[in-house]
Structure 1
């Protein structure tokens, strides 16, 4: 009977392995310590000097998740972080609060003679890795566009400009991933939408700004989903945006006049034995059962 129970467990593990959710790390893009945060702002190395690294939260901005910034975090009146805040300096407005811990955690502390902290290093590394992946060129996105993440993994675009009625639709499921490397800037008007369908979350879809100088992401009251990453990017968010599943990471600065920001929580991937290992286990158990049956005969 115990052998049959073990076989059942092994088959269950095999089932879990085949149904585990995909994430950007499956394409080799590891966000490192930045992955802890809904918003992370690092610094970039300007001839041996760490530059920028500021996060500014507008009045009555409500962030559901952790935030981090290498230089400082400014809280306007009434802004609330429903999680932890990690920075070397906090500028606190009236009525603002952090419901978790506010501290200069290890992610933003420079160790030894390092110019950059771990948050900054990991943001830059993830962006470079995504940039180096083989990609299909899709030109400029300046009207409603649809991509299928089950058919495409990495694409390059010159820029993204969405008008008030434009929709960038990304189809797929929780086992698909898509990286969009943006060589220029992104301008998303109020009323525009970036939508993920059928189980895709910000853990699966990455907008990576790769300009060697500076990139900008500007949006107003748009409906946006996905992970937005930049080596040197100024992210400017206007009022009234719908941000139910986003993550923002940049080694420059972010000014957020948004209201509510959330990140969807994908099903965690479970580490299980490789299918080949499970098959070996099953074969061994089958032999044990056969031997047991012979003895009882």
Structure 2
């Protein structure tokens, strides 16, 4: 009886751990954030970027990390924790989670994690798709689909669609020419989950620039040596921006919802339950 209960618990635990498909690229501690502006030391040995300004009434759902200055305008809200070098918090702004000042070592470690993830993604074997400036669809190539593009520049209602199954992973490596998503343009996920999509913009400085004017997008976007320029009033759901810097007057950004927690009884609890069932069985036999 006890062995059967233990086997059942093991099956439940296995199901819980397999319910969320993980990216085959480890983001390390950077995965804790919805918005990360970690700064980087590639320009004359000085931290580059590493700032974030949240506009009036902006709402960020998830954790925020800013190496240098986090500036929160009136009415802006972070629904999560905030790590920063310094904080300018105007009246009416709030952080619902913890607030912590972090030093250079903390941010250097985040940069190392994100840089390592970027290099790992870039090293994956993938399909070369050239420069993307017209509406296109990338179809699944298997459980993990990797595409290499020279750059992306979509505007005037153009789109890039990633099409596959709910458990499929898509990784798009963006090379020299950066990433630009203009007004009305979109990154569309057809059948796949935002948690399983990674855009890796691995260029440096302007070549690692991500410019999103007023388009729509989902997934995780990383630019360890570049920065994100995000349009005023941008509202996004199911997205993360992790890079050296972020600028723009964001309106609302929803990160990823945490996976449901499946509680598995401790072995001691299972033992007590098993003994109780055995005792109940003996009582019934005597009666």
State the TM-score bracket (shorter-chain normalisation).
Answer: 0.7 to 0.9
How many angstroms does 1:3 deviate by? 5.1
Structure 1 residue runs of 5 or longer lacking an equivalent are: 273-297
The 4+ residue runs of structure 1 with deviation greater than 6 A are: none
| Equivalent-residue separation in structure 1 for 2:81 and 2:15 (angstroms) | 36
Is residue 43 of structure 2 the alignment partner of residue 41 of structure 1? Answer: no
Normalized per residue, the structure richer in strand is: 2
Runs of at least 5 residues in structure 2 that lack an aligned partner in the other structure: 265-287
Q: Residue 85 of structure 2 corresponds to which residue in structure 1?
A: 88
State the distance in 2 between where 1:67 and 1:61 align.
Answer: 13
Tell me: CA distance 1:269–1:178, structure 2 relative to 1, closer, same or farther (3 Å). Answer: farther
> Which residue in the other structure is 1:260 paired with?
252
* CA drift at 1:16: 5.4
- Deviations along 1:215-259, one digit per CA (max 9) or x if unpaired, are 2111222111111101221211113433111000002x1013121
Cα 1:269–1:196 change in 2 (3 A) is farther
- SS of structure 1 residue aligned to 2:130: coil
Deviation string, structure 1 residues 85-106 (Cα, Å, up to 9, x no partner)? 10010122332221222221xx
SS at match of 2:30: helix
Aligned to 1:197: 190
Distance between the aligned counterparts of 2:257 and 2:164, measured in 1?
17
Q: CA RMSD in A?
A: 2.5
1:80-119 residue pairs with structure 2 within 5 A? Answer: 80-104=77-101, 108-111=102-105, 117-119=108-110
- Equivalent-residue separation in structure 1 for 2:111 and 2:77 (angstroms): 24
CA change 1:67–1:237 in 2 (3 A) is same
| TM score, norm. by length of structure 1 | 0.78
Higher alpha-carbon deviation: 69-78 or 222-231: 69-78
Task: Give the corresponding residue for 1:32.
Answer: 28
The alpha-carbon deviation at position 138 of structure 1 amounts to 0.6
User: Among residues 133, 146, 158, which one is paired with 1:142 in the alignment?
Assistant: 133
Secondary structure of 1:131's counterpart equals helix
Q: After the TM superposition, which residues 1-297 of structure 1 pair with which residues of structure 2 at under 5 Å, given as runs?
A: 1-2=1-2, 4-6=4-6, 8-9=8-9, 12=12, 19-24=18-23, 27=24, 29-46=25-42, 47-104=44-101, 108-111=102-105, 117-149=108-140, 151=142, 153-183=145-175, 184-201=177-194, 203-214=195-206, 215-251=208-244, 253-265=245-257, 267=259
Q: Following TM superposition, by how much is the alpha carbon of 1:4 offset from its aligned partner in structure 2, in angstroms?
A: 4.8
Aligned length: 259
CA distance in 2, matches of 1:110, 1:33: 15
Q: What's 1:286 paired with?
A: none
8 Å Cα contact 2:234-2:249 kept in structure 1 = no
- In the aligned structure 2, how far is the partner of 1:206 from the partner of 1:55? 22
CA separation of 1:12/1:103 partners in 2, compared to 1, >3 Å: closer, same or farther?
closer
**C-alpha separation between the residues in 2 aligned to 1:11 and 1:120?**
37
Range 42-51 or range 209-218, more displaced: 42-51
Residue 276 of structure 2: aligned partner: none
